[in-house]
């Protein structure tokens, strides 16, 4: 008889594949039957359509949330009172930091802090209390900060981030 290392294996003899936790039978690899794995696979196969529906409903709800947010920004912008006294300062600061477009600056009673709204036509909304309570230097610093958001395309990046969050909401 030949030594074991030279023995010819029949195609039906199982060969243990070590860490793979599988056996090879004549070129076909069969995983060892793990009860929980089989049940999980069967459940996933039987529930695939329900999983897709649940994901679709979640993604649609999150996309609606994004649309409501954009609509809210539009309403804030429309309700704001444009500030004409700051136009020259905003134009100068916009040119100073390299913006091609001078955004509208407006006072809005519905915002608690300075904010930028709008992607295509950005506007800087200032709380109504800022009209009387700040020095010119403070207003200039706030405007520079908000203009920097526009220069870095933060409003666009925020919308893109919200869209990604809507599609990957389950994470």
List the structure tokens of 166. 């809507």
Would you give per-residue pLDDT tens digits along the chain (171 residues)?
Answer: 555 555 555 555 555 444 444 554 555 555 555 577 778 888 888 899 999 999 999 999 999 999 999 999 999 999 998 888 888 999 999 999 999 889 999 999 899 899 999 988 999 999 987 777 788 889 899 999 999 999 999 999 999 999 999 999 887
Residues 6+ apart with CB under 8 A from 145: 114
For residue 30, the cross-strand partners are 23
Q: What is the pLDDT of residue 156?
A: 95
Note the pLDDT of residue 157.
Answer: 95
pTM: 0.68
Q: What is the CB neighbour count within 10 angstroms for residue 126?
A: 23
pLDDT score, position 42: 85
């Amino acid at each position: 008889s030949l030594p074991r290392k030279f023995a010819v294996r029949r195609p039906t003899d199982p060969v243990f594949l070590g860490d793979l936790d599988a056996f090879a039978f004549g070129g076909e690899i069969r995983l060892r039957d793990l009860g929980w794995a089989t049940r999980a696979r069967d459940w996933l196969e039987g529930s695939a359509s329900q999983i897709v529906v649940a994901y679709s409903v979640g993604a649609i709800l999150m996309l609606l949330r994004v649309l409501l947010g954009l609509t809210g920004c539009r309403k804030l912008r429309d309700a704001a009172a444009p500030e004409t006294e700051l136009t020259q300062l905003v134009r100068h600061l916009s040119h100073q930091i390299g913006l091609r477009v001078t955004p509208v600056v407006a006072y809005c009673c519905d915002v608690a802090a300075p904010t930028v709204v709008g992607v295509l036509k950005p506007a800087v909304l200032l709380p109504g209390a800022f009209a009387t309570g700040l020095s010119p230097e403070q207003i200039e610093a706030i405007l520079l900060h908000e203009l920097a958001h526009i220069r870095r395309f933060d409003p666009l990046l925020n919308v893109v981030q919200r869209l990604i969050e809507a599609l990957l909401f389950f994470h």
